[in-house]
Amino acid sequence: MPNIQPKNYFLMLVFFLLLLTSGIDVMKDLAEGTDFNHVAQETVVFALSFIALGWLTYDSRRQAIKIKALREELAHARTPEHKPEKYVLDAKTSLSQVISQQFDDWQLTTSEKDVGWLLLKGLSLKEIAAIRNTLEKTVRQQASSIYKKSALSGRHAFSAWFIEDVL
């Protein structure tokens, strides 16, 4: 599955192995006539492993679908259905150039610039992490670095810095 975080792959593998080994153990115990309480306990472990694996698989799939939808929405936002008037395009181009220049002046890294653009577009840290195929913790650190380099207090101040005098 695309866009599944490594920790989810690891957890899915662990639960699959637990499911496999506990299933084999229950089968052996049943064949050997082991005490019912012991078999019942191992069956509970088997069932819980099955439920956990199913839940992780479902959640990972749902997350992959959401990430795909976010990417499509972002691509759609980049190609609007109605072409804006020239003055709107000129204003967007000018603002884009100002933002790019300011990012350069703040000496943001390429990754920080990417995160900065997505922050300005209004995406959450979780959404940015999904789109960039990275951990939310990484995006949070990059955002903090942006705020520190820009000497701004946070996300709202960062966005306001670019649009406050325009409005």
* Residue 141: Cβ within 10 Å count: 13
Model confidence, pTM = 0.55
> Which ranges of the chain would DSSP assign to H, the alpha helix?
6-32, 36-78, 86-105, 110-120, 125-132, 136-150, 155-163
Position 167 confidence tier, pLDDT thresholds 50, 70, 90: low
Q: Which residue has the higher pLDDT, 4 or 51?
A: 51
- Tens digits of per-residue pLDDT, 100-120? 999 999 999 999 999 999 999
Domain 86-163 -> CATH class: mainly alpha
Residue-level pLDDT at 1: 44
Cα 7 to Cα 9: distance, rounded to the nearest angstrom: 5
Cα 100 to Cα 118: distance, rounded to the nearest angstrom: 13
| DSSP labels, 25-57 | HHHHHHHHT--HHHHHHHHHHHHHHHHHHHHHH
Mean pLDDT score, 72-84: 75
Q: Give domain limits for the chain.
A: 6-78, 86-163
CA distances (Å), origin 17, targets 12, 24, 37, 45, 74: 9, 11, 23, 12, 38
CA distances (Å), origin 78, targets 28, 72, 73, 107: 59, 10, 9, 26
